[in-house]
């Protein structure tokens, strides 16, 4: 059973893992804390970028000789394979770590087995402490591995009466400058930004992270336009070369019964391209299709203190015919952003295999 010092260290490891949110993709975010036998912290680390040292290696380097006999508290099972870096299990063994506390097992078969490797070498290993928090901080990567599709965050902006555009079709700007800046922060935390061709034709968005350089250094998110019939103009800002762009059409992605691109097929195509976290930016029809198919894993909604009374709704047909069929969400965060309010919520009934499906 984890000691109080190990429990506190796991909470700290989760905080450290979160530091890699904008830079670690397509890798997981991982945090590690090394504790001396007396419970004192002797090393900390987190996974900062693909190809860089893993969290355990950063922590071991910080600890130096104090790692011998220490306990490593880590949010994700140490890897047992050689990729662009060596196995973390071997680094822990070479440093003389005596005990390892792991929050979440690694679901990626290529790297899994670290706990067994450490136990076979005589290291005391405990799995499970702090699992819920470690699942949440690493949810996009865990879902991508478990379900074979990217994690989807739907971002929406609407008035208090749920309108995303006025009756004449105008939508700039429903929210204020602070909220729009916060959206760029969100874009910097994903590897893919997805919009429908209707949004591109109506608003001509650039879909980049601004200011330039936001997100992972040298790796701007892929801009994707769901465009069944290839209507995206050659001069659209989304084609401006500021970031990579894929205009996904029916030639490359299967269509559903409604004649539009099938959301699951589009996510499968993105997963095949190595994409882990998609920020869905609409519009209402595309968002409704994803919600209808149970393919939205998190909702980030910006609500402006304004009323329109008519105009486009923020969400299109989501397959709900009666109140009993409503897509219920659990509110996780409420924050004021400038003059607007940001609501963050997750589905109450996640898909099987989802990081929250087991109560995490």
Q: Which residue numbers are catalytic?
A: 56
Cα atoms in the 13 Å half-sphere on the side-chain side of 98: 8
With CA atoms as reference, report the closest residue to 79 among 93, 69, 68: 93
Q: Give Cβ neighbours of residue 309 (< 8 Å, ≥ 6 apart).
A: 161, 163
Q: Are the C-beta atoms of residues 313 and 284 closer than 8 Å to each other?
A: yes
CB burial of 127-154 (b: ≥16 within 10 Å; e: otherwise) equals eebbbebbbbbbbbbbbbbbbebbbbbb
Termini Cα distance of the chain: 19
Return d(Cα 212, Cα 81) in angstroms, integer: 35
8 Å CB contact between 346 and 297: yes
Distance (Å, whole) CA 158 – CA 156:
7
Binding residues: 54, 79, 88, 157, 171, 173, 187, 199, 203, 207, 210, 228, 281, 283-289
Q: Which long-range contacts (CB under 8 A, 24 or more apart) does 353-357 make?
A: 353/143, 353/146, 353/147, 354/143, 354/146, 354/147, 354/297, 355/135, 355/136, 355/138, 355/139, 355/142, 355/143, 355/146, 356/135, 356/139
Binding site per annotation, positions for Zn(2+): 54, 79, 88
Q: With the CA atoms of 167, 168, 169 and 175 taken in that order, what torsion angle do they form, in degrees rounded to the nearest 10?
A: -70
């Amino acid at each position: 059973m984890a000691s109080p010092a190990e429990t506190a260290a796991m909470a700290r490891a989760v905080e450290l893992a979160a530091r890699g949110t904008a830079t670690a993709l397509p890798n997981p975010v991982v945090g590690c804390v090394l504790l001396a036998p007396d419970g004192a912290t002797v090393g900390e680390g987190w996974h900062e970028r693909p190809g860089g040292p893993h969290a355990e290696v950063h922590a071991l380097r910080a600890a130096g000789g104090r790692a011998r006999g220490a306990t490593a508290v880590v949010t994700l099972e140490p890897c047992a394979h050689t990729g662009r870096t060596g196995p973390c299990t071997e680094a822990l063994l070479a440093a003389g770590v005596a005990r390892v506390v792991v929050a979440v097992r690694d679901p990626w078969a290529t790297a899994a087995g670290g706990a067994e490797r450490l136990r076979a070498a005589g290291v005391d290993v405990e799995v499970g402490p702090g699992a819920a928090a470690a699942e949440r901080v690493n949810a996009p990567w865990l879902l991508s591995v478990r379900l074979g599709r990217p994690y989807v965050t739907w971002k929406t902006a609407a008035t208090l009466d749920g309108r995303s555009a006025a009756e004449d079709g105008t939508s700039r700007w429903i929210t204020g400058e602070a909220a729009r800046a916060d959206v760029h922060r969100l874009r910097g935390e994903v590897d893919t930004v997805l919009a429908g061709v209707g949004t591109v034709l109506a608003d001509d968005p650039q879909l980049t992270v601004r200011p330039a350089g936001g997100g992972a250094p040298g790796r701007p998110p892929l801009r994707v336009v769901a465009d069944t019939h290839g209507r995206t103009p050659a001069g659209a800002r989304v084609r401006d070369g500021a970031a990579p762009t894929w205009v996904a059409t029916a030639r490359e992605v299967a269509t559903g019964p409604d004649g539009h691109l099938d959301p699951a097929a589009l996510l499968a195509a993105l997963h095949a391209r190595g994409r882990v976290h998609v920020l869905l930016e609409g519009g209402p029809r595309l968002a409704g299709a994803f919600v209808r198919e149970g393919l939205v894993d998190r909702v980030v909604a910006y609500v402006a203190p304004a009323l329109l009374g008519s105009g486009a709704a923020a969400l299109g047909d989501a397959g709900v015919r009666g109140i009993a069929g409503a897509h219920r969400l659990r509110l996780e965060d409420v924050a004021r952003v400038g003059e607007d309010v940001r609501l963050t919520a997750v589905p109450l009934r996640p898909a099987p295999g989802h990081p929250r499906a087991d109560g995490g």
